[in-house]
A and B are shown apart, each in its own frame.
Chain A
Amino acid sequence: MRDGAVNLGGRTIWSGANFSLEPGTVTAVLGPNGAGKSTLLNVILGLAPLSEGSLEVLGASPHRGNRAVGLLAQSRHADELSTITARDYVGLGYDGPRFGWRRDKTKDEVVARALAMTGTTSFADRPLRTLSGGQRQRAALAHATVFEPRLLLLDEPLAGLDLTAQAEIVDLIHLIRTTTGAGVLVVAHDLNPLAPLVDQVLWIARRQVRSGAINDVVNEEVLSDLYGHPIEIIVTPRGRRVIVGLEEEFAHPHPHGHDHSNELAHEHLGDLYTDPSA
């Protein structure tokens, strides 16, 4: 994308977007709630237009229905209720957009391959609503990758998962990008579980999109600036870096957050201090 900007209803969502995604790499999109992360996905999908600048998606202008772009959507409202099986859901990724009755002979084979790659096969014939969060996310990844897309967009793929499931999905994303060579764009609010995978970070703050290598972005100064409140990075004894302070952003979003440091301090106290008389 070159000098990309988006206006919606006369308001600039963000501007100054300059970045490119390389095949086989993972790019994380960070930013406070409401910063326009989903808008960025919609622009790439051809669902929202750029008001300035230009964008090339896999050598063409973005257009709807591009099979070479796969999407794992954030909220699939039918998940909790849906009686359809994981296999049928993946099948919809294959021929769901097609009107009429014609059926492809290759469909079953392609669907089975996507199920196998994502480790979904063993529970493929169970209804989505009986699956665990991690299993559903595997099925959703199979759905998104049924055509082995060259660009894979993941909207909050780890939201609502426990730590084990998060680690499994991170491994699976790694597997997909190495086996298919797809470029992956992940919208995430917590960078920690994804950090080992991420090559590049796009961050959206104050209506600007900036990009950088993960090591340039993951420092306290940049992240604190990005979220408008203090963020700390702790290095564990084994050398892992953990970002602290983002949890509050999502538990209590402060879209215009300037000076909430006192409030945050209280929240921290609340976590650590339990009144013995209570």
Chain B
Amino acid sequence: MSLHELVALSFVQHAFYAVTAVALAAGAVGYFVVLRRQAFAAHAIGHVGFAGAAGAVWLGLSPVVGLLAFCVGAGLLIGLGGAKLDDRDAVVGVTLTAALGLGVLFISLYSGYANATYSILFGQILGVSWGDVGLVALLSLLVVVAVSVIYRPLLFVSIDAQSAASRGLSARKLSLAFLLLLAVTTVVAIQVVGVLLVFSLLVAPAAAAEVITNRPLRALALSSALALASAWLGLFFGVWLGGPVSFWITALSSVSYLAARLVNARREHRARCVVA
């Protein structure tokens, strides 16, 4: 089959629309994950989602339902229980492990698990239906709009919580709102790259963007752009050359981070030489 014919396939088009929406949302939310150093929370929410998806499959429901319920629940739990930075790690860790235990239970209860488990863990974007694409696009759009509305206050509390509080912002509410957005983003990202590779869209592009630019708005846009580039190219390579799409996306976003670090190291080296 020629490339032209491949791209015309309906499941490839579904995948294209889905990754586009997801990458934009994940890139934007990822910027704050990196800025607020909440990668561990992001990691935990994804794994909690795994338990939810496994539970839903066992009950004969769509995995997305379980993912949404468990991810949003985990976001609430981490947001309410770990409001103090000091015990945040402990709350996240306990939530994570409890949910993974449940996931193991659900898998053991469900007989035909192998295929469903694989797609939850590693993503199976080429299998999405029009209905899934619609839901993913809707949720992603919701996230992008919400991030654009709370962008400045969230940045403010992330940088200087005390000053932000004195100006009337509630760090607790904004932190909770952010974790909920993170939960929804994780749900849609899992559709593309799976639980285990969620960071390829949620952390790697944002980390690369933060290395490249100091300006928050530019970093946010760049993070989305890099996530989008990784997702599009990853889908293209997966369809054209074969191999799992989630592998390609992970490889590309990791390489973009590495490249950003190398370019930055050279830039800093040159700046030092000029000073010397």
By a beta-carbon cutoff of 8 Å, the part of chain A in contact with chain B is 45, 47, 64-65, 67, 69, 71-78, 81-85, 88-89, 92-93, 95-101, 125, 127, 143-144, 153, 155
Contacting residues, chain B, for A72 (C-beta < 8 A): 163
B6 CB-CB contact with A under 8 Å = no
B251 CB-CB contact with A under 8 Å = no
> By CB atoms of chain A within 10 A, which of B37, B149, B153, B167 has the most?
B167
Contacting residues, chain B, for A64 (C-beta < 8 A): 165-168
Q: Are A99 and B152 in contact (CB under 8 A)?
A: yes
Contacting residues, chain B, for A99 (C-beta < 8 A): 149-150, 152-153
In the complex, chain B residues 214-229 whose Cβ is within 8 Å of any chain A Cβ: 214-216, 219
| Pairs A-B, 7 closest by C-beta atoms | A65-B168, A96-B156, A73-B162, A64-B168, A71-B166, A97-B167, A45-B166
B158 CB-CB contact with A under 8 Å = yes
Q: Are B163 and A143 in contact (CB under 8 A)?
A: yes
Contacting residues, chain A, for B161 (C-beta < 8 A): 73, 77
| Total cross-chain contacts (CB, 8 A) | 91
Contacting residues, chain A, for B150 (C-beta < 8 A): 99
> By CB atoms of chain A within 10 A, which of B152, B155, B216 has the most?
B152
Q: How many residues of B contact A (CB 8 A)?
A: 27
By a beta-carbon cutoff of 8 Å, the part of chain B in contact with chain A is 37, 85, 148-153, 155-156, 158-169, 210, 214-216, 219
For A74, the closest partner residue in chain B by CB is: B162
- Inter-chain CA distance A92–B216, complex, in Å, is 11
Contacting residues, chain B, for A73 (C-beta < 8 A): 160-163, 166
- Inter-chain CA distance A83–B218, complex, in Å, is 12
Contact of B159 among A45, A67, A71, A92 (CB under 8 A): A92
Q: Are B164 and A127 in contact (CB under 8 A)?
A: no
Contacting residues, chain B, for A81 (C-beta < 8 A): 37
Shortest beta-carbon distance from B223 to chain A in Å:
13
The answer to whether A88 and B162 touch (CB under 8 A), given A99-B152, A99-B153, A101-B148, is no
Q: Are B156 and A78 in contact (CB under 8 A)?
A: no
Contacting residues, chain B, for A65 (C-beta < 8 A): 166-169
Contacting residues, chain B, for A74 (C-beta < 8 A): 162
Contacting residues, chain B, for A100 (C-beta < 8 A): 149
Q: Are A92 and B214 in contact (CB under 8 A)?
A: no
> By CB atoms of chain A within 10 A, which of B148, B210, B216, B219 has the most?
B216
Contacting residues, chain B, for A85 (C-beta < 8 A): 214-215
Contacting residues, chain A, for B159 (C-beta < 8 A): 76, 78, 82, 84, 89, 92
- Inter-chain CA distance A84–B216, complex, in Å, is 7
